[in-house]
Amino acid sequence: MKSILFRLYLAVMKFLARWQKEDPNTYVILNGSGRSGSNGYLFYKYLCREHPEVTAYLIEPWPSSHLPWSDWQKIGRAKYVLTTHQPFKVRKSQVNLALWHGIPLKRMGTMANNTQRRDNQRNEKLWHKTADLVTSSSELYESLMSACMGIEGPRYVQLGFPRIDSLLKSPYKKAQLLADFFSCQDPEAQVGIYVPTFRYELEEPEVMERIKEGNFFAFSDFDLAALDQALAARKQYLLVKLHPWEMKLFSDFHLEAKHVAFLNNSDLLAKKLDLYEILGATDFLMTDFSSIYFDYLHLDKPLIFITNYLAQYEKTRGFLLGPYEKIVPGPCVASQADLVKQLGEKDGYGLERKKWLELSDQADHGQACQTIFDYLSGV
């Protein structure tokens, strides 16, 4: 019932907003990605910084039934509507550019194991009707997206992703990261970051209970004190960026560890930064099944993959590529003991990272924002 009412709400507001006079110099960004590698937010920052001659509006969170009428007026006035999730616009004359929010690794839409056919058909119809342009990085990206969403090939334009600009030109340096999160000044220190995917859909109470207890890896042998000691012995620090929903499970974000700290959404909002503006300052990335690792390939830095609930995720949602251990350019670990051992190993995956970067991205060279702006100016 809630979804039906929300679709009705969107239909009514679209009808009302379309009566606004369209301004050819107005961009509106409908951001549903928060500050976690948001192409929308980062393109908005670019427009404000580099193109003061245009009007840019950031609408977030999107979608929402709590937007004021003034926001709908902004949407109605825009010539260009950029979205991070499902495409949207209020009239045919507007140009919708779908930025999306990651290179697909996990199954979604038609390909997912946990979706309904009726919903998938509705989404495919929406993409067909509304998405004028879909920014892309490669043929691989286009194949994966179309498999899931049914997007037609001619809609893709290889313009790249704004988040890669910020990753490659990070304004946030490692010295600042160490000072802000670890109160440390050590030029020899290494900083890793752990960014897991959305694990709630696993429907595994044991996994979620472990996370709630502070076991952010959901390891069966998790020992924070031992992990802290192992990191200290190697002059390593670990920043943990959980999914925003998982962060709600914690009543206290303080960890009894000197070498482990949480990176919260509130930190990013306070600093007016996106995760990718910090990501470039790190030395290695750990994730489970988040496609963030495709983007991290641009840095040519080590990757470690956490796979202690791989079987459950394959069953619940599934992957677009596999077997998983064969397609990830880094070691897979399923326990804290394996992880601690791997933290001391020499990196030997450089060639694999290069191969996957060439497959997944031929468009991004740190100029995506300018490329997108120039392209839209000619539409």
Q: Which two structure tokens, joined as six digits, stand for 8?
A: 């009705």
pTM of the full structure: 0.93
Q: Tens of pLDDT along 250-276?
A: 655 677 889 999 998 888 998 899 999
* pLDDT tens-digit series, residues 51-85: 999 999 999 999 998 999 999 999 999 999 999 99
Q: Please give the pLDDT value at position 252.
A: 57
CA distance 377 to 37: 24
How is the chain split into domains, by residue range? 8-160+365-377, 169-360
DSSP state of 201: G
**Dihedral of alpha carbons 271, 276, 281, 287, sign:** positive
Tell me the CATH number for domain 8-160+365-377. Answer: 3.40.50.11820
Mean pLDDT for 269-291 is: 93
CB-CB contact of 164 with 366 (8 Å): yes
pLDDT bracket for residue 95 (50, 70, 90): very high
Query: Distance between CA atoms of 297 and 299, rounded to whole angstroms?
Result: 5
Q: β-strand 284-287 against 260-262: which pairing, if any?
A: unpaired
The closest of 191, 196, 31 to 105, measured between CA atoms, is 196
> CA-CA distance, 45 to 272, in Å (whole number)?
10
* Distance in angstroms (rounded) separating the CA atoms of residues 236 and 245: 27
Taking 60 as the threshold, does the pLDDT of residue 1 lie above it? no
Q: Which CATH architecture has domain 169-360?
A: 3-Layer(aba) Sandwich (3.40)
CA atoms within 13 A on the CB side of 99: 29
Do the domains 8-160+365-377 and 169-360 sit in the same CATH topology, yes or no? Answer: yes
Evaluate whether 48 touches 87 at the Cβ level (below 8 Å): no
> CA 303 to CA 348: how far, in whole Å?
10
Q: In the predicted model, what is the mean pLDDT of residues 291-312? A: 94
> Of how many residues is the chain composed?
379
